[in-house]
Amino acid sequence: MKGYVHSIETLGAVDGPGLRFVIFLQGCPLRCKFCHNPDTWRFDGGEEYTVDEMVKKVLRYRTYIKSGGVTISGGEPLRQAEFVLALTDALQNEGLHVAIDTSGIFCEGIALDAALKADLILLDIKSFDREKAKDLTGFTTDHAWSLLEARQKKNRPVWIRHVMVPGITLIDKKTDGSSFENEEEWRAANAELVDGMRRLNDYSCIERVDLLPFHKMGEFKYEELHFPYELKDVEEPSEEIVEWAEKTIRL
């Protein structure tokens, strides 16, 4: 049993609770326009690891990650479902907390088994409009909601992640290009986001929702890979707009 690993972060602080050993697997079928790791898209490449090799590597950091655990990310980790399931089982047998960061694009068979076995799922919902998600990533978000339903039925915890892209998943300006005068105006223009937060309230398995502001830290990778970067003219959202958006989580 081998997995193909793009990279490793030994002490990650933003990919689940506590300090975490984060494993980024190679390969992803989605083509998110805001992706900051397009170098993970290819299904070939990456460094080969057996489950045992990876567990041994993780255990070197047990002292540091005992407050957190291990997060298996990507790319799309559940594309390598058999490896992820076996690795999750082995890490849990060592007493480690395992999170999987996924879009839910693979949510049947062994991939679903792995997703249900994980102690925590970090679920990326790309858009609260299924057709907008398709334009943004190449796929609708039906699979994400299916995985969320599956975790709900098993009462297994989920953290939601949603990237706020100005002009696409976040409306940060009026149609004439001017700024909103107040939060009420902004909220009316962002009914899609507001309704999405309310929909999430129906799921008791959701422990946390992270609204992540769009950023351009991965733009240089598109240039290096000779990939078109469609969001080069999109500006990062202002602090005020981000604050207004974060208030919707508490609706």
Q: Chain-wide mean pLDDT for the chain? A: 95
* 65 part of a folded domain: yes
* 189 part of a folded domain: no
**Dihedral (C-alpha) 144, 150, 156, 162: value to the nearest 10 degrees?**
10
What is the per-residue pLDDT across 215-239, written as a single tens digit (0 to 9) for each?
Answer: 988 899 999 999 999 999 999 999 9
Q: What DSSP string describes 140-176?
A: -SHHHHHHHHHHHHTT--EEEEEEE-BTTTB--S-TT
Report the C-alpha gap between 217 and 115 in whole angstroms.
29
* 178 part of a folded domain: no
* 179 part of a folded domain: no
Identify the domain containing residue 52 by its residue range.
2-164+204-232
* 80 part of a folded domain: yes
Please state the rounded mean pLDDT for residues 91-119.
Answer: 97
Report the C-alpha gap between 93 and 73 in whole angstroms.
20
* 148 part of a folded domain: yes
Please state the rounded mean pLDDT for residues 112-141.
Answer: 96
| pLDDT value at residue 141 | 95
3-state class of 71 per DSSP? Answer: strand
What is the per-residue pLDDT across 141-197, written as a single tens digit (0 to 9) for each?
Answer: 999 999 999 999 999 999 999 999 999 999 999 999 999 999 999 999 999 999 999
Look up the CATH number of the domain holding residue 74. 3.20.20.70
| pLDDT value at residue 251 | 65
What is the per-residue pLDDT across 21-57, written as a single tens digit (0 to 9) for each?
Answer: 999 999 999 999 999 899 999 998 899 999 999 999 9
Report the C-alpha gap between 111 and 233 in whole angstroms.
37
* Global pTM value: 0.94
> For residue 60, what are the contacts with CB-CB under 8 A and spacing of at least 6?
none
| pLDDT value at residue 217 | 85
* 187 part of a folded domain: no
Nearest to 84 by CA among 202, 29, 4, 181: 4
Please state the rounded mean pLDDT for residues 75-98.
Answer: 98
Percent of the chain surpassing pLDDT 90: 94
> For residue 227, what are the contacts with CB-CB under 8 A and spacing of at least 6?
38, 221
Widest pairwise Cα distance in the chain: 58
| pLDDT value at residue 1 | 82
How many domains, the chain? 1
Res. 76: pLDDT tops 90: yes
Report the C-alpha gap between 107 and 145 in whole angstroms.
10
| pLDDT value at residue 45 | 85
* 249 part of a folded domain: no
